[in-house]
Structure 1
Amino acid sequence: MAAGYGELLRTRYTVRLLAGTLIGRLPNATASLAIVLFVRAEGGSYALAGALSAVYGVGNAIGQPLLGRAVDHLGQPRVMLPSAVLSALGMALFAVVGTDLPPVAYAAVLVAGFFTPPLEGGLRALWPDVLKRDDRIHAAYALDAVAQEVMYAVGPLLVTLLVAAWSEAAALLVLNVIGVAGAFCVVSSPPSRQWRSAPREAHWLGALRSPGLLVLISAFFFVGIAMGAIAVASVAYADQHGGGMVSSYLLSALSAGALVGGVVYGARQWAGAPEPRLRLLVAALALGYVPLALVPGVPAMTALAFLSGICLAPALACAFVVVDRHAPSGTVTEAFSWLVTMFVVGASVGTGAAGPVIEAGDVAAGFAVPGAAGAVALLVLVGARRFLAPVSRRGSRPVAGDLPTENDRNGAVEPGFSGSRQA
């Protein structure tokens, strides 16, 4: 396992691109917490803090696929670096103005959210040209999913440290300066500068004209609901079991499970098409959420949270591969951005839905929401499986370990075709 990942990380530009993307995404990963802390420090209410965070999230959800489409048209440097600077300037304006002028504050966080650069989709579009070998691409998607868990675990800690060392406003400014530096690290690299999208058919729906992609992002909307609901239910559980760090234990355990599952998943070669495998992974993910509704004591609940996270990163990594196969030619960055957007929107819906469920029932009912959402995600994939049938090539390249299809054996598909090409 270590040798496989070592070979991947020794490939030229891999570490730079992965690290730059993670650093560039820190402002987005920490925005909700940083905004809430800043508003409270300014004397604003939790309602105002929540509203501003929601506006940031809405801007982000709208901006990601639109910027992803722009990247596919214009290339990465022309879109990602200017958008990173505009996003940082929006958050800087918010930090300077504060909450004294609410219309300006809302406009500033909307700009910051909307212009968040689509670094996730951009990185996944680069992997085929950088890694070239399909087994490495497969491992890179898994490592990408694992790295997200690390970022979301480290990000809140970094915010806390910056607030303790300076102030809430300084935390906003520093994080966004770091984000611009990360984006510059990515777009100044030769792979990013040389990358060009494959030829594309002009269509107003862009990536969304793919039925398979629509099925996939619909399913992961419900996976996002499960994740959002778990976050709220964990806080309610902590209130009943001593408060303090209990909710952090549960969420950290879930992330640790995802990290372990992702590392193991990415280290092995998988035979067969990824579409059926994705259904199995989502089924296992949904099944893992069900025991959380038992709400046992803290040690057992922490163990259940760990187990519930094991299939999360593998499911995401497999979904990345499926997106790469089903995205129409020339839309791969936009397609990845849609997956991210729907997952984040789902998490927001799950966060909003879990609270009323807990208030109407109890904590167990709150933890039943993830199981139900996971089941719906599986139903979407199973019920619409004819639209997400295995394909050998579409907008991208073959998947590591895939068995050749009949078309491949007959030579109907051009070997080595890639959805992105280097200039």
Structure 2
Amino acid sequence: MAAGYLEILRARHAARLLTGTLVGRLPNATAAIAVVLFVRAEGGTYSFAGALAAVYGVANAVGQPLLGRLVDLHGQPRVQLPAAIVSGLAMAGFALAGVASPVLAYAAMIVAGLFTPPLEGGLRALWPVVLRRDAQVPTAYALDAVAQEVMFTVGPLLVTACVALWSARVALVVINVIGVLGALSVVVSPPSRAWRSGPREAHWLGALRSPGLLALLGAFLFVGIALGSITVAAVSYADGHGGDGVYGWLMAALGLGALVGGTAYGVRQWPGAPERRLRVLVGLLAVCYLPLMLMPGAVAMVLLTVLAGVFLAPCIACAFIIVDRHAPGGTVTEAFSWLVTTFTVGASVGTGLAGPVVQAGGALWGFAVPGAAGAVSLLVLLATGGVLAAPAGGAVVAPSPENDPNRAVEPRFSSGDRA
């Protein structure tokens, strides 16, 4: 099983780029918990802490595609490193100033979120350049999705360890210094310095002029809603089945399921078009959310939550391939950044939607939300099947074995074609 992943990591610069990207994204992955812990340590309220985290999330969602477009226009080092430094300085300023001035605190969150570097999109644009064969790119995307689950598990543990050893203020600063070092490791690498986006047609919509990409984003908005709603429903369930400890196990189980599913998905080459495969994966994702409504005892519920997470990482990995196929020429980083933004917005909407649902009907109806959202995502993919079946017009047609064991001619990975 590990052979495919080891082959990816043995490629020159691959391990460095993957590690640097994950380390560089630590501030983003841990922002919510780090901000909440710091605000509470400073004597602020949970409402204020939550509001600051929400402002950071919204600013991040706005900034990712904008910075992604700048990366496509000007290259990775000129955008990624300055953005990481500005974001890190904003968080450091927030840590030093504290919460005495709400205006300054909100301003720091806006700047930190807006300038979070689009390292995710940058890495996915680099995979076709770093790897020897196009057929390896889907495995790299799966490895990427699996690594994200590890980061979102390890990141909060690192924050809490820093808080326990020093303080919440030190944790906030240390995490952001580490993030800047991760971004620096990526942008000084030869692939990042040499990378140039393909020729692009000037258009104010940028990547969003692709109908296929818009269809995919519409579907993944609801996948994000499903994931966000689970986190709220799980709190309500845990309140009646053991408290915070059970909630922690449920969230860890969701990540474990995604880790297992993504690892298994990436070890083989899958036949058929990725657009059709995504419909199957999203359908399975929606079906696996439904057993959560049974709400058994804590141990059984943890196992059901593992099952609920199994198809998440495969869905994300498959979506990466589709983004690459449908992104207009010269917009690949921006296109990947739009996927990140859409997923983030969807998770926020899911969190906000599940709250009133749980309040009105309890955890049972809260767990109905992810199944319903997964079903809507599948309906979007089915309704836009014709659009998704036609890759971006700018793609280069070349023989590739990635999706067709018979070596049929198909659109090549767009980000693999350079000016």
Structure 1 residue 133: Cα displacement = 0.7
Distance of aligned partners of 1:393 and 1:123 in 2 relative to their CA distance in 1, 3 Å threshold: farther
Partner AA of 2:372 in structure 1: A
Distance of aligned partners of 1:90 and 1:4 in 2 relative to their CA distance in 1, 3 Å threshold: same
Partner AA of 1:419 in structure 2: S
Which structure 2 segments of 5+ residues have no match? none
Alpha-carbon distance in structure 2 between the residues aligned to 1:52 and 1:408: 50
Alpha-carbon distance in structure 2 between the residues aligned to 1:392 and 1:200: 12
Alpha-carbon distance in structure 2 between the residues aligned to 1:406 and 1:11: 24
Scaled by the length of structure 2, the TM-score of the pair is: 0.96
Structure 1 residue 293: Cα displacement = 1.1
Matching of residues 1-16 of structure 1 within 5 Å: 1-16=1-16
Alpha-carbon distance in structure 1 between the residues aligned to 2:126 and 2:351: 33
Distance of aligned partners of 1:406 and 1:21 in 2 relative to their CA distance in 1, 3 Å threshold: closer
Alpha-carbon distance in structure 2 between the residues aligned to 1:76 and 1:325: 21
Deviations 1:364-399 (A, max 9, x none): 111111001111111111111111115498557877
Alpha-carbon distance in structure 2 between the residues aligned to 1:390 and 1:305: 35
Q: Is the 8 Å Cα contact of residues 128 and 413 (structure 2) preserved in structure 1?
A: no
Alpha-carbon distance in structure 2 between the residues aligned to 1:85 and 1:251: 31
Residue 154 of structure 1 is matched in structure 2 by: 154
Structure 1 residue 132: Cα displacement = 3.2
Matching of residues 18-417 of structure 1 within 5 Å: 18-391=18-391, 394-395=394-395, 401-403=402-404, 408=409
Alpha-carbon distance in structure 1 between the residues aligned to 2:36 and 2:111: 17
Partner AA of 1:233 in structure 2: A
Alpha-carbon distance in structure 2 between the residues aligned to 1:131 and 1:401: 13
Q: Is the 8 Å Cα contact of residues 138 and 400 (structure 1) preserved in structure 2?
A: no
Partner AA of 1:47 in structure 2: S
Structure 1 residue 255: Cα displacement = 0.9
User: For 2:385, what is the secondary structure of its paired residue?
Assistant: coil
Q: Is the 8 Å Cα contact of residues 269 and 400 (structure 1) preserved in structure 2?
A: no
Alpha-carbon distance in structure 2 between the residues aligned to 1:303 and 1:394: 45
Distance of aligned partners of 1:397 and 1:162 in 2 relative to their CA distance in 1, 3 Å threshold: farther
Scaled by the length of structure 1, the TM-score of the pair is: 0.95
Q: Percent identity, aligned pairs only? A: 65
User: For 1:44, what is the secondary structure of its paired residue?
Assistant: coil
Structure 1 residue 404: Cα displacement = 7.9
Q: Is the 8 Å Cα contact of residues 227 and 370 (structure 2) preserved in structure 1?
A: yes
Q: Is the 8 Å Cα contact of residues 196 and 420 (structure 1) preserved in structure 2?
A: no
Structure 1 residue 97: Cα displacement = 1.1
Structure 1 residue 175: Cα displacement = 0.3
Alpha-carbon distance in structure 2 between the residues aligned to 1:404 and 1:394: 24
Consecutive aligned runs of 4 or more in structure 1 exceeding 2 Å deviation: 390-401, 404-409, 416-423
Distance of aligned partners of 1:393 and 1:133 in 2 relative to their CA distance in 1, 3 Å threshold: farther
Distance of aligned partners of 1:197 and 1:286 in 2 relative to their CA distance in 1, 3 Å threshold: same
Alpha-carbon distance in structure 1 between the residues aligned to 2:263 and 2:276: 21
Distance of aligned partners of 1:422 and 1:383 in 2 relative to their CA distance in 1, 3 Å threshold: closer
Q: Is the 8 Å Cα contact of residues 210 and 392 (structure 2) preserved in structure 1?
A: no
User: For 1:259, what is the secondary structure of its paired residue?
Assistant: helix
Alpha-carbon distance in structure 2 between the residues aligned to 1:6 and 1:418: 25
Distance of aligned partners of 1:422 and 1:153 in 2 relative to their CA distance in 1, 3 Å threshold: same
Q: Is the 8 Å Cα contact of residues 274 and 390 (structure 1) preserved in structure 2?
A: no
Q: Is the 8 Å Cα contact of residues 325 and 393 (structure 1) preserved in structure 2?
A: no
User: For 1:127, what is the secondary structure of its paired residue?
Assistant: helix
Q: Is the 8 Å Cα contact of residues 25 and 179 (structure 2) preserved in structure 1?
A: yes
Alignment counterpart, residue 419 of structure 1, candidates 412, 415, 419: 415
Alpha-carbon distance in structure 2 between the residues aligned to 1:101 and 1:186: 35
Structure 1 residue 23: Cα displacement = 0.1
User: For 2:318, what is the secondary structure of its paired residue?
Assistant: helix
Which structure 1 segments of 5+ residues have no match? none
Alpha-carbon distance in structure 2 between the residues aligned to 1:147 and 1:400: 25
Q: Is the 8 Å Cα contact of residues 265 and 314 (structure 2) preserved in structure 1?
A: yes
Decide which moves more: 350-359 or 196-205.
350-359
Q: Is the 8 Å Cα contact of residues 259 and 313 (structure 2) preserved in structure 1?
A: yes
Distance of aligned partners of 1:248 and 1:17 in 2 relative to their CA distance in 1, 3 Å threshold: same
Alpha-carbon distance in structure 2 between the residues aligned to 1:86 and 1:63: 13
User: For 2:196, what is the secondary structure of its paired residue?
Assistant: strand
